[in-house]
Amino acid sequence: MRKENSTFKTKFISEAGSGLKNTDYFAFVELDNYACYCIADGIDRDKEKESAKLAVEEAIRRFLEKPSIKKSCINRCLKAANEVLKSESRELRLEASFLMVVTNYNTMRWGSAGNTRLYHVRNGSIKNKSADLSLSSTLAEQGRLPQDKIEEHEERHNLYCYLGMPEKFLPILSDKIKLEDGDTIYLCTKGIWENAGAPELLDALEEAKEPEEVCDSVEELILARQKKNLPSYTLCTIFADKVYKDPGKRKKLIKKLLIAAIPLLILALTLSITFYILHKKNQEKITTMLSLKETGIQYIEEQNYKRALEKFKEGLEAVKKVKLKEKSEPYLEKEELEQYQKLSELMVDAQEAMDKKDYKQAIHFYELALVQVKEILDYGAEEKQYIREQKELAAAYLEILSYIQSGDKMASIDNYAEAIEAYESALSLARDIFYTEGKDEASTKLDEVKAEQHQQLLDDYIEEADEYADRAEDEEAGGYYTMAKKYYKEAANLYKKGKDKEKAKEMKTKIEELEEEESTSEKDQFAANADVNIMKGDQAVEDGDYEKALSYYQTAIDYYTAAEKTDSIPAVQAKMELAQSKNTATAKQEAQAARYIEEAANKEKLKDYAAAAVLYGLARDIYREAGMSSDVNYMTKLISEMDKKAASETENQTAADTNLADNTKTSTGTSSTNTKEGSTKTDTSAEDDLEKEGTEEETTGKELTK
């Protein structure tokens, strides 16, 4: 019995950390020929169900049904644990990171789904280590992230395989690992490896004699760091002090059995023939499998993964009932065929996602395919490059789709500038990678949004034109034709920009109508102005101001000409001729009056006032005939002054005569004469007063007329 001939010591710790509930779980079972160790880290948020515990218990239960160190056994247990979590998921999906280790006390094999880890230590250094199924680990494998930075990278918990996955559950299964005396095996969850790296785990082994000491030392190290948010942590330490070694009894037993089995040789021979026939058939099936495998690989080289998958499935179906010896060449061929099948499934799924334009999911499948490629030793570099190129292509398609969706969003809120920018970015990228469908879609949407932008611009022009048209109508209604024409002109230009030719034409018609109406109104005003100037000319004629009358009449003719009323001009011209003739006659009379006034002035100097008065009277008569009232009044005033001077001269002469007369008769005669002259003077003065009064009335009438 293997267990009896080996020494394995196991110790573990499992605590809740700074949380209230321990989401980790560990359990193991040691049988006579096999031992199984299972560790899980619950990564869901369900507060009622313990996903880690469910997974571990189910895996161990399935292991106990048929214990084995084969990959198929470990794979069966992992899938069973996955199905349990899926079936127990209700409101929240149960999920766990899981690691299973099986040993026959001489070798070990592990299966992993997630980032729960195994460290195999030999002679103070790490001999083997499980692989994390996380994005950080993938980046490290691609050389884009240092190995010692995985524990700190932000994507270390971004897993692409874990228990509870709804589909495509692809755990990693290791090959057999040979154990030697003194080896140490660590199993731990993220609560350990995030806070105590590989160097700390190796340091803990230096002076430890028992696995319990190692667990305590590591726990003290973690707690000493006093992290506020310490997750649940679990560490299992296995000391393989002595591994199982076959003592050689098996060969002796076989020899004895062979000797004892001689009587059965005949039966064995018969059975051998039968087995040979079966073996031959199996060989034919294996040959078929190999042939189908090669055909599938050829399809892969042609990038036809769908047909390749069909061939790989047929190949596996051909040897489905053939029991192949482990590690034999057909067995290894079958294992490789299974890896090819998984790869083809991922590539087909990726292509289907591409066809559905689910580029994010396609990228995920291509990443899994790149991981799966590593399981196939002879996979060609060109085929690997093809997968990388397809992944990059999916990423480019995703970026194009993102640009188009962004453009759609911007267009929906009428943000045409940003929509155009997004569609142009999509179009440029699609052209760069020769993505015809994306290019056509981006180009179509770009044309549509540009058309919408142009239509919006036209609508804006029309709307602004409508506003100007309304303002023009208001100005027109108020009689402000100049502003109305200005607004109609603005409206016409905007309607033209807005491609509304009918409206633009309508605005021009409005402008023409206004100009015509404005022209008619202006002519009427010119005609009215002409009439006013005729009236003023007539009044000037009455006043004897013929020069002014001629000016008014000429202005009236100019207005009639502007008003296009030429039929009214002859009458005005007749008035002008009459005023001109009167103006000429008046000039002659005024010259004669001036001569009378000059002679009167001379008479006045000679103190011949009576003669001067007569001459002023003649000049007054001329002025009166000419209608020159102001001059008439002035002459009347001068005549009055001459009369007064003449009377004064007469009185002086009479006084002198009286002094010389000595007799009363002469005095009486003189008195009579004075009385007569006084009477005459009185009559003349009265006549002058009446004339002056008439002149003043005439002047007043003219002023009222003005």
Average pLDDT of the residues in 173-197:
94
Rounded to an integer, the average pLDDT of 690-700 is 38
Contact 553, 575 (CB under 8 A): yes
| DSSP calls for 637-661 | HHHHHHHHHHHHHHHHHHHHHHHH-
In the chain, what percentage of residues exceed pLDDT 90?
38
Q: Are 330 and 285 in contact (CB under 8 A)?
A: no
What's the token pair of residue 441? 């879609």
Cα 517 versus chain centre, distance: 51
Q: Report the topology of domain 390-499.
A: 1.25.40
What does the pLDDT average to over 33-47? 91
pLDDT at 653 over 50: yes
- What is the rounded average pLDDT for all residues in the chain? 84
Confidence of residue 572 (pLDDT cuts 50, 70, 90): confident
pLDDT grade for 168, boundaries at 50, 70 and 90: confident
Of the options 3.40.50.2300, 3.40.50.300, 3.40.640.10, 3.60.40.10, the CATH number for the domain spanning 3-245? 3.60.40.10
pLDDT on residue 133? 84
Amino acid letter at 346?
L
Residues 103-121 have a mean pLDDT of 95
pLDDT at position 616 over 60: yes
Helical packing angle, 481-497 and 501-542, nearest 10°: 160
Return the amino acid letter for 554.
Q
Q: Write out the two tokens for 572.
A: 């005005």
Please give the average per-residue pLDDT across 97-117, as a whole number. Answer: 95
Residue whose tokens read 């001059």: 631
Complete DSSP assignment for 126-154: EEEEPPP-BHHHHHHHTTSS-GGGGGG-T
pLDDT at 365: 92
- Residue-level pLDDT at 564: 80
pLDDT of 575: 84
pLDDT in tens, 378-410: 677 777 888 888 899 999 989 998 899 899 999
One-letter amino acid of 666: T
Residue 659: phi, psi to the nearest 5?
A: -65, -30
Q: Which position has the higher pLDDT, 630 or 35? A: 35
Taking the C-alpha atoms of residue 83 and residue 163, their distance in angstroms, rounded to an integer, is: 8
Q: Lowest mean pLDDT: which of 290-294, 554-558, 661-665?
A: 661-665
Query: In whole angstroms, what is the distance from residue 30 CA to residue 3 CA?
Result: 8
pLDDT band at 300 (very low <50, low <70, confident <90, very high): confident
User: pLDDT class for 187, splitting at 50, 70, 90?
Assistant: very high
Q: Given the structure tokens 């731990």, which residue do they identify?
A: 188
What does the alpha-carbon distance between residue 403 and residue 390 come to, in Å, rounded to a whole number? 20
Q: What is the pLDDT of residue 60?
A: 97
Give the model's pLDDT for residue 328: 86
pLDDT > 50? residue 555: yes
As a whole number of angstroms, the longest Cα–Cα distance in the chain is 230
How far, in Å, are 69, 198, 294 from residue 297 at the CA level?
30, 40, 5
Residue 59's closest CA among 15, 91, 32, 96?
96
How far apart, in whole angstroms, are the C-alpha atoms of residue 164 and residue 44? 9
Q: Check residue 38 and give its pLDDT.
A: 98
Q: What is the pLDDT of residue 494?
A: 92
Tell me which DSSP letter residue 563 carries.
Answer: T
Strand ranges of the sheet holding 183-188, from the earlier edge strand across to the other edge = 7-15, 233-242, 183-188, 117-122, 125-129
- Asked if the model's pLDDT at residue 181 lies above 90, the reply is yes
- Contacts of residue 457, Cβ cutoff 8 Å, sequence gap at least 6: none
Q: How many residues does the chain have?
A: 706
- In angstroms, the CA 241 to CA 126 distance is 17
Could you count the other beta carbons within 10 Å of the beta carbon of residue 174?
17
Domain extents for the chain?
Answer: 3-245, 281-379, 390-499, 532-705
Token pair of 602 as six digits: 């001379």
Q: Helices H, strands E: what count in the chain?
A: 21, 11
**Angle in degrees, CA 294, 112, 176, rounded to 5:** 65
Confidence of residue 543 (pLDDT cuts 50, 70, 90): confident
Cβ burial of 249 (10 Å; 0-12, 13-18, 19+) is exposed
Lowest mean pLDDT among 34-48, 509-523, 544-558, 592-606: 509-523
Q: Any idea which residue has 């000391």 for tokens?
A: 239
Dist CA 283 CA 276 (whole Å): 10
Top pLDDT among 364 and 583 is at 364
In this predicted model, which residue has the larger pLDDT, 272 or 685?
272
Is residue 696 scored above 50 in pLDDT?
no
The amino acid that residue 349 corresponds to is: D
Structure-block tokens of residue 172: 């990693």
